[in-house]
Each structure stands twice: as C-alpha cells, then as structure tokens.
Structure 1
Amino acid sequence: MTRTLKVFEKVILGCFLLLAISGRTLAQSDLITNIPARETISLNGKWQYIVDPYETGYYDYRYKERRENDGEAYWNNPVQKDKTDRKEHAYTDEYTLEVPGDWNSQDPKFLYYEGSVWYKRTFDFDKSDLNSKRVFLHFGGANYQTDVYLNGKKLGMHKGGFTSFNFEVPASVLKEKDNFLVVRVDNKRAKDEVPTVNTDWWNYGGVTRDVNLVVVPDNFIQNYFVQLKRPAPGTAPKTKNTEVQGWVKLSKAAAGETVTIEIPELKYKKSFPVTNGTADLNFKLPKVQLWSTDTPKLYNVVISSKSDRVEEKIGFRTIEAHGKQVLLNGQPVFLRGISVHEEIPQEIRRAHSKKDAAQLLGWAKELNANMVRLAHYPHNEHTTRLADSLGILVWSEIPVYWTIDFGNQEVFEKAKKQLDEMIARDQNRASIIIWSVGNETPVSPVRTEFMRNLIEEAKEQDPTRLISAALEVHYNEGKNTIDDPLGQYTDLVSVNEYLGWYGGLPNTNRTAVWETKYDKPLFFSETGAGALGGFHADSLTRFSEEFQEWYYKEQVAMMKRMPDNYVGLSPWIIADFRSPKRNNQVYQEGWNRKGLISSDGKKKKAFWVLKSYYDEMDEVKSAKPKASSK
C-alpha cells in the first residue's frame, strides 16, 4: 500500500471516529477541491432566516432532537394546508441575510448574538442532464456547527468555522422545482470545541463564505497534490530542484484507469496509472521558472482522467529550514511578515470576498511585507489564491488557541479534522510555506503530546512545507528564554513576545537578551502594542499613536541585535479588529487596538516605522550570505 493511500485511510478513519464519538452517523463527503474549476451553480445571495436562541426548531419541548418528518422542525417547509392548520415557524422576505456574510454586521440585533440561526432558500435544478453525474452542496465555510437539510432530508453536519466542506445530494432528494434548502448555523462557544470558549477575537456567526452546487462526473477528480519535492533533511540545498512528487485521487476506484498531467507552457504531458482510485506522481519538470516573492510565476496545470478534467494555476517552489536559515528555492529568505485577521474593520464585519482579500493583502504590500500570518484560523480561499498571484508567503493556522481541552480525545479529533481540511483545500498554493498547529498553548506534557501528534499529522499530509506553532517566552529579569518542549518537533521556532507592552516600557528592549535551546531558525510570530487611531500624546502615554510608534522603534532596534538564526517576524497586527475582551471604554470599546491601521482604515504612525525597517531589509537581502548549492 502506498503512503498516499495510508494517508487517505487515516483521514477517513479519523472522520468516522469523530462521528462515532459524537453519536451521529452523518454523510459528510470527502472534500472536493478547486471549486472555481468545476461546473457550479452559485447559491450566494439573500437567504431568509429565523433566529432560534432556544433551539426550538431543532429540539422538541423535552429537548430531544425532532423527528425528520416533524412539521414543527425548522428544516421542513411550514406551508399551511388551510386556515386551521397551526404552524409556529415561517420564512419570509421580511427577514433576510446575505450569503456569504456574518450575521453580526447585517442587523443591529445580531451585534453580540451567539446561538442558532436557520437559513433558507429555494432553487430550481435541471435534472435532465444528470446521467452519469453527481451533485454536491459545497460550503466555503460557516461558523461553527452547520446542519444541512434539503427537502426535509438531512444531508449532514459539519463542525469548524473556517474550513470548507461538502455533502453529496442524492438524485432522489433533488427536485426540478422549488428545492427547499435549510441550513442551521450555531456559533455558540463550548469548552470541548476548537477553538474553545476563550479567544481574543469576535466570534462572527453565519454562512461566511461562498455556497455552491457542484456538478461532477460519476467518477471525478476529487483532489490532487502537485508540488516540488522537499529536499531531504541534512542534504545540501538545491537552487533548481524540479522533481515533482504528489498524487491524484479519483472519487471511485476503476480498473484500468489513468490520469494525465499536462503543463502546456512547458510542453509537458504524461499519464500515470491509478491504483485503488489514486495515482502516485513522480516526474521532473523541464525548464521550469520557480515561484518566488519577486516573480510569482504560476503555470496552468491540466489534470484529466477518462471522465473528468480540471485546470489549476500552480506555482512550483521549495521551502525548507536548513541550519539557521529558511530557504526559498535554496536561497535564504527574510520573512517580512504581518499578522492578519479575516476582518474588514471599516465595516465591522468578516471578510468574505475577493475585494476584501485584495484590501487586506494590499495593506500588507503597502507595508512592503513579503509574508502574512493568517491568524488564528484558515482564511478564505480568495486570500490564499490572491497571495499566490501577488508573491506573498503565507502562514496558515488552525484555531488550537490558548487553553483547549488537551486531554480530550474528541477535541483532538476535531483539531485534526480541521488541520486535514485546511491542508486538503490549500495544499497546491505555492504561497503557503508554513502550516501552524496552534497559538500560545500552555506547556504541559498532555498539551505537548496533543500538539506533537498534530505536527506528525501535518507532516504526513504534506511533507513539502514547514510546520510550526506560535510559542510563548519564559521571561526572567531581562533574559528571555525559548525552551518550550514543542520546539523540538517544529521546523522553525516561532514565538510571541510583547516586551514593553505587557511588561515594563518599550525601553526594556534595549537590555533584552534572547536565548533558545533549539538550533533552528527563530521567527517572531507576534509583537505589538495598542494605540487608538487619531489619539496623540507624548510617547509615555498608553494607547497613543506615539507610544505605539516608540514601541516599534525599540522593537526594530532589538531585532537588529538578534542572533544569526533570526529569520523574520509577523507583528500583531495589520489592522484593529473586534474583541469582546478589550473593554477600556475610552480607548478600546470592544476593539483590539494593536493594528498598524485603525478601525477606520487609516495608517498609524507605527506603520511607517515597520515599513522603514522592511524597506531596509529588502534592500540588503541581496547582500545576505547565500546557502551552498549543488
């Protein structure tokens, strides 16, 4: 059995285990990727809704889940047969929400709402051309638990607010006219979920990403992995590695099946045999131009089988941690990063469109950043695809955040499932160089084992990228020690530090001494200070732009004194964002103010301090010592 097949079996086993633990047998299908290349019918637009804080549409008065044919269940069409017929729920055009979009920003009554909302829309579907075809309902994301019903039949349930999922729609359930689609979204926080109850960002609820019907052949190309092989650990880096390793997975096993990989621009075409539904790929590319931050070259890759064909824009590059450096295509790269939340601050809402992605990544480009840390969850696919075309490196993370229940096997399965879904969707994005398995998790043996297992899972799913996690610092009288035991398992040591904001004043950076027990590249995954945009005072006044500006000046000076394994930083954060933990009613008012850009979209003084540093590092990058190559 190939490694690829073992990986898929492990993913499927994990999904079944999760469903068994939760006591449900639901029909979530394996993820279909590259939705833009498929035949789709968009279900975006206005959906009718019912707010259901008491879960009346889901549970009866004994708080037991309603039967499928229960007329009071909100997934059933509440049509009155006559005037005596009692119906205690209804969907009307007086109550609509835009999909995609969070509900919190669409009506004042939702501002702080956490609970269940039922979404409903109808659609027609031409079934005349369904011979040898299958239909799936695909969601780019919905936060947090999503239950999906079509014409009174439950298609399935998904947990996780930031990963894609889909359900197959049986032909027997699908109708030509007036299909009655109902989606229950519940964003309540819970101790045994991922993330858990305590986070430092707003828990936007709703169907926050695109919804599509996807029509595919009976045996279709479900997913694929076409990437350059990562150099083996300990070997000399190569500046021109062109060896591709990967796989193509069909939805069904079929005797005598082959898949063909074609890259027209390179005049490359080759077929590969399929075994048990999967073709293993191993070939070399001729005269390939490698993807980089300066030249983000993307090739049109055509993948075809006997019954299906998809096209994808793919960039080819290698990323590795070699000694004390991070190497992109065999050459050292300094990560001029910035952290980003998936939020449009001027409109106080979740980002969801290509335009939104362009705003957030555009701000990063204005900063002269070459990298973004997408915190603290996988962002919209629009963002990662745009990063590919802009040449922006990406850190992508699952929301294993702070103090989740590390001793709970069910929680681990939920985290692993989100990790698998994150990788499955974006594994062909050249921009993504780091998969992160969590942020600021407290050190303990059970936590380290939990995180180590996630790291192993990530490496098994994708052996070509770096794996990391944002760790914390051990502060002790000016000596800052990075000794988190998780660091021995990650490819680079990443750490969050806030010297001068959460301890002392910014001038404490001048005498700071840094030590790490790991001989690996050192990356500062967070640093920052809060400032209310437009509030000006002297540099000692907290929450003034001048204090934040001073903080960044001292941070930059400290970074210039870092040891030679220092490879970059991603300060916290590009723009202010909502957080119910931030309750200073003068300066915060429910916002985390650490943004370099204010909640009204204006750049603060600290923005220009960091940009100046990045401009300087950009200018000297050519003078950096080059890694040896063969």
Structure 2
Amino acid sequence: MLKSTYRIILICLSLFTSMGYAQVSTIQNIQGRNIQSLNGKWNYIIDPYENGYYDYRHQPFDQTKTGTGGFFDDREQKDKSELIEYSFNGSPQMNVPGDWNSQAEKLELYEGTVWLRKKFDAKPEKGKKYFIYFGAVNYEAHVYLNGKKLGVHKGGFTPFQFDVTNKLKIGENSVVVKVDNTRKPDEIPTTNTDWWNYGGITRDVYLAEFPDHFISDYKLQLVKGNNNLINFSLRLADATAGQEITLSIPELKLEKKYKTDGEGKIDDEFTWNNLSLWSPENPKLYEANIKSDKENINDKIGFRTIEAKGDSILLNNKSVFLRGISLHDENPLIAGRLRSKGDMRMMLQWAKDMNCNYVRLAHYPHNEDMIRLADEMGLMVWAEVPVYWTINWTNPATYANAKQQLTDLILRDKNRASVVIWSVGNETPLSDARLSFMSNLVETARSLDDARLIAAALEVHREGNTMVLNDPLGEKIDLVSFNEYAGWYFGGVPSEITKIDFNIKYNKPVVISEFGGDALAGFHADENTRWSEEYQEALYKNQITMLSKIKSLRGITPWILTDFRSPRRQHPIYQNFWNRKGLISETGEKKKAYFVLKNFYNQMQEKYK
C-alpha cells in the first residue's frame, strides 16, 4: 500500500514540475555571477479579495483567452475614459527584501495576497541567457514579466528563478509578483506553527546574466571519513560535452583541468595532503576558482569531515560536543526578518559570546548569507526544512513540495563547511504514513549529500519518570535528536526534573534539539514562580543535571537564543505575542539562564579539548 502511495507521489511530483511550478535547478553561488540587483523600493497593492487575479466569475485572468485583465498587466491610463481600478504608480512602496508585516501598521497581522511591482532597465545581449532570481518569497509566488506569466513557486524560504531570456526588453521592464502567505493545511509548513508568518519578498532579487553552456552547479568538499580526499563535481546547465573547466585554489597551489562528459558533467576525486581543516577553532576558508572559457566563478570553501561513529560525533576525526543554541530568522530588536548581514552577524556573535560552537537554524532554511557568515565565524550549523508538526502525510503534492524544499536547501548550501546536519523535520507525530514520508526525505537527503549527518527533531513520550525515545525514524537518521520540555510543559517544577531518567532505543550520539521555558526579562521571583528569570534559571540548572545522566549526550540546542514574535503566545502580561523562551530579551538583555548555559559550555569546552 505504501509503495503504491509513493508511486503516486512520484507521478504527482512530475505533474508538479510540469504545471508551471518548475524552475531550472537552483543555480549554485548566485552571488558569484553577473547579477543586477532588483532590490530596493517596490510598489505594492494589498488585495485581500484577489481582485487582481480573478475576474468576477472567479476565473484567473492569466488563464483567460486574452491572458490579460489582472494587476500583472501593470497598466496605466492612456485615455481619460479608460477604466482601470488599480495603480502601482499611485500605490505605496515597501523595501525588498523585506516582509510586509513590519513595514506597514495595517499589515502587521495580515495574511493573504499582496502584489509587488518593480520597474528596471535591462540591456539583454544576443547569445546570453537571463534569469530572474528570488532568494525567498513567502509563501506562494506568481511571477510576471511585462505582463506575461513566468510561473509559480511554493515555499517561503528557498530560492527559485525563471528563464527570461526571450522575455526581457531593451530598456524599461516591469516585474510583478503576486505573493500569498495564507496558511493552508496541505502546504509546507502547514496551518499551525509557532512563529510569525512574515509575508513578502523577504530575500534578494536579481536579474542574472549567463553565457550559453553556463555552470549551473558544482560541489567541492572532502569525502566522508577522509581528511585529504577531495570530491569535485560540476554540471553545466545543458548537456554540452568537451567544455574545458579549470579548478584552482591558489593558496594550495592546486590547479586541475577537466573537460565535461557527454552529459555536461565532471565528477572527480583526488588527494591533497596539506589542507588546513575547517573547525570552529580554525574556520579556515580557501579562495577557490572555477573557470571556463566564458565564466570565472569565485567561492570561499572550507574543508572538513563530519560523521557519527558509535555514540560519538567526529569533526575531522576528533570527538566533539555540539555547544549549541536555536535561532529564528528574526531580529528581536527591530520587527521583521533579519534585514542585512549586520543583523545576521549580530545574532551569530551573540551565540559565540555564549561560547557556542554550533547553532540550530530553525524551523526552515535561513538566508544563504547566514550560512556563509557561519562559515566565516566558525559555527557549525543544523539546517532544517519546515516539515513541522501536523503535515498532511498522505497528500502526494505535499510530499512533492517537502522534497523540493529539501532539495533546494541542500543544493544551495552543500558547499558550506559550517553545515554539518540536514534536518528533515520537527516534532512530527508517529504514524505509518508519517514514517514513510519522513523516511523518503531521509533517503533524498542522503542521495544528494552523503557527507553530512541527517537528523530530525523527534519527540519523546513519558512513562512515569522515564522519557522514552523509540521513534522508528531513529533507525534511519544519524543522531538520536529530540525535543523535551521537562520543567515547562511537563515534569513538575524545575527541582523535580532531576528525577527523570531516559530510555533511548538507539546506540547513537544524543543531541537534545530543544528544551527550555519562558521568562519575562526583568520579572524576578522565587524559582517556582512561572515566567520569572529565576524559574528559567533553575530550569536550566536542573536540565543540565538531568541531561548529564545520558552517557551518549553529544550536544544540545536549547530553545532559544532570543525572544521572538508568535501569534500563538497571547498572555497580555508575560507574552503579548512573544515567545519568551529566549535567553536574551527583545531589548538585548541577557536573562539569568544565559549565564548558566555559558558556564556549562565553558566546562564542555575544557572537557573536549
């Protein structure tokens, strides 16, 4: 039965690809290409009834015989008798990249459709290829250029692009994007989440120019378990044989020349003995260059290995303890998504100040710049897709969407040394359908990248004073990684949780992907008073005592670095639409539990020297 279900899923994935949801496979290292930024001020129209998309019979304008009549036409009145009931030129503007919730007061809680329009000049040349690239749009994006539909993309946190080679005009062009962040039960994520549903074009937009036969994808990393065997693979956007490619790393005096095979690919392994390996203590990045007769691509690459052996995690063949913290893609000090590298660097530096060597970027793919900064700053990364809570496990289209988001994440970040774990989901309830869904995602991740660990944030159940982990997905993944909230959602007051023991089925490294409790910064009381800093402080002290019983404990990422906004958190005194589990408040104040965790990490650093 389940095999039949997944045959249907594969058929659906094919249909999903053919119905305009498709894109050219994510282009590696878009920042290293010839790009024109389309960031800046975009005009926008709020459209809760989707008048700009449907006619009065609720038929999409872009599917009518004329294919016109919607806001995507970007029309301007040329005759005084002409009826046009919208105007981008007369509409307000917002910053792109940026979410709309933080840029207009009346949009703070808005979920629905907003149209965004940008005019830009272009000078397309013959013999070149052009793509419009979006770093992320939340959630469903319908993209139009000069009134013609380019396609649709679903997924709020992964990049996509459309080929506009034959659609660009010399001179002024108009790109219009219909963005809809409505939560729906069959989507990834589903309707129920615990973070703010920021809508909009939240990451960079580029017009990218390429030669014909351009390099679409490449990978440069160490082979799993071998500290001097390098794998280099490359793929052209088309199956062009005989394309000359040169790989060079000047600092290593490394230069290798290749020719693409009949499928436009290169796949090679070679030994190099004098590598300085990337680690949090030594975040070494090499300037790498990949060159053809028409392209010259530069990247910064770190070389390291990561694997699980027995109950240990080995970084460059040395046992390591993951001193981590979880993060959302949100600036607590200024409403909205992280806006710049400065915002991102601030968040990662706060983690390093607590002596972290590792961060969990929850619960969705974060900005590519965040991963590159982690490379530079020396922080290992858990990267995740938003298969979160109660996904529709039996809908083939939902699986196809999840698989595409996971694929896009891995293709985008596979050259980043900081990424040591791909996570396929968070707190998903047990069922046969869910096990098949998640197992297939694990297989997808392994097929795309076998040089990293695969994980998921599992759940435990409680039997008396014992936490039991026997999720069958644990057989498939590399870590016993799970969330537990003893002392907050169950387990009594903080002093009582040290009585709890663990029954873990699998002999694998244990990583606690979440624990914690809320505290309102500045609210002080005794350690049994909920919402006080003292309660959170005691919870962390006793959690550390409790978790230290686990002999195979090899890492933790408590929930969470900073307070963050959530519509689920409604207590008017202590929450006010904020999840208060942060160790740092929305004003940047360190709570008492922050220092408990930092002290523990200082001890673990000494232990694992």
After TM superposition, the score normalised by the length of structure 2 is 0.96
Q: Do residues 24 (structure 1) and 23 (structure 2) align?
A: no
Contact 1:248 1:281 in 2 (8 A): no
Structure 2 letter corresponding to 1:72: G
RMSD between aligned alpha carbons?
A: 1.6
Contact 1:33 1:425 in 2 (8 A): yes
User: Aligned residues: percent identity?
Assistant: 49
1:357-506 residue pairs with structure 2 within 5 A?
357-503=344-490, 504-506=492-494
Contact 2:61 2:68 in 1 (8 A): no
Separation (CA, whole Å) in 2 of partners of 1:540 and 1:53:
46
Structure 2 letter corresponding to 1:530: D
Separation (CA, whole Å) in 2 of partners of 1:158 and 1:273:
34
Separation (CA, whole Å) in 2 of partners of 1:77 and 1:468:
46
Partner of 1:164: 159
Partner of 1:510: 498
1:215-364 residue pairs with structure 2 within 5 A?
215-231=209-225, 241-275=227-261, 276-364=263-351
Separation (CA, whole Å) in 2 of partners of 1:16 and 1:43:
36
Partner of 1:62: 57
1:153-232 residue pairs with structure 2 within 5 A?
153-171=148-166, 173-231=167-225
Separation (CA, whole Å) in 2 of partners of 1:478 and 1:212:
55
Q: CA deviation at 1:477?
A: 1.0
Structure 1 letter corresponding to 2:523: F
1:53-132 residue pairs with structure 2 within 5 A?
53-67=48-62, 69=66, 71-92=68-89, 94-127=91-124, 130-132=125-127
Separation (CA, whole Å) in 2 of partners of 1:23 and 1:254:
24
Structure 1 letter corresponding to 2:521: G
1:123-162 residue pairs with structure 2 within 5 A?
123-127=120-124, 130-162=125-157
Q: Do residues 34 (structure 1) and 29 (structure 2) align?
A: yes
Contact 1:72 1:89 in 2 (8 A): no
CA-to-partner distance for each residue in 1:14-47, whole Å, 9 max, x for gaps?
Answer: 9994362488235522211212211111111100
Kindly tell me: are residues 109 and 138 of structure 1, through their superposed partners in 2, closer, same or farther at Cα, counting changes over 3 Å?
same
Contact 2:16 2:22 in 1 (8 A): no
Contact 2:9 2:397 in 1 (8 A): no
Separation (CA, whole Å) in 2 of partners of 1:390 and 1:55:
44
Separation (CA, whole Å) in 2 of partners of 1:22 and 1:169:
18
* Partner SS, residue 156 of structure 1: strand
Q: CA deviation at 1:92?
A: 2.7
> Which segment drifts farther, 201-210 or 577-586?
577-586
Structure 2 letter corresponding to 1:73: G
Structure 2: any 5+ residue segments left out of the alignment?
A: 1-7
Contact 1:499 1:508 in 2 (8 A): no
Aligned residues: 598
1:610-625 residue pairs with structure 2 within 5 A?
610-622=597-609
Q: CA deviation at 1:259?
A: 2.1
Kindly tell me: are residues 254 and 21 of structure 1, through their superposed partners in 2, closer, same or farther at Cα, counting changes over 3 Å?
closer
Contact 2:21 2:154 in 1 (8 A): no
CA-to-partner distance for each residue in 1:63-91, whole Å, 9 max, x for gaps?
Answer: 11113655530100221121100001111
After TM superposition, the score normalised by the length of structure 1 is 0.93
Separation (CA, whole Å) in 2 of partners of 1:472 and 1:161:
25
Structure 1 letter corresponding to 2:343: D
Contact 1:261 1:304 in 2 (8 A): yes
Contact 2:330 2:564 in 1 (8 A): yes
CA-to-partner distance for each residue in 1:442-496, whole Å, 9 max, x for gaps?
Answer: 0111101110000000000001000000001111111111111100000111010
Q: CA deviation at 1:93?
A: 5.3
Contact 2:382 2:419 in 1 (8 A): yes
Q: CA deviation at 1:175?
A: 1.4
* Partner SS, residue 248 of structure 1: strand
Contact 2:12 2:396 in 1 (8 A): no
Structure 2 letter corresponding to 1:263: I
Kindly tell me: are residues 282 and 415 of structure 1, through their superposed partners in 2, closer, same or farther at Cα, counting changes over 3 Å?
same
> Which segment drifts farther, 493-502 or 271-280?
271-280
CA-to-partner distance for each residue in 1:346-402, whole Å, 9 max, x for gaps?
Answer: 112111311111111011011110000000000001100000011100000000000
Separation (CA, whole Å) in 2 of partners of 1:273 and 1:341:
43
Separation (CA, whole Å) in 2 of partners of 1:257 and 1:23:
29
Contact 2:241 2:259 in 1 (8 A): no
Q: CA deviation at 1:121?
A: 1.1
Separation (CA, whole Å) in 2 of partners of 1:529 and 1:255:
58
Structure 1 letter corresponding to 2:395: N
Contact 1:28 1:155 in 2 (8 A): no
Q: CA deviation at 1:441?
A: 0.2
- Of 507, 514, 521, 2:509 maps to 521
Partner of 1:625: none
Structure 2 letter corresponding to 1:142: V
Structure 1 letter corresponding to 2:120: F
Separation (CA, whole Å) in 1 of partners of 2:376 and 2:118:
35
Structure 2 letter corresponding to 1:182: V
Partner of 1:50: 45
Partner of 1:3: none
Structure 1: any 5+ residue segments left out of the alignment?
A: 1-12, 232-237, 623-630
Separation (CA, whole Å) in 2 of partners of 1:138 and 1:442:
36
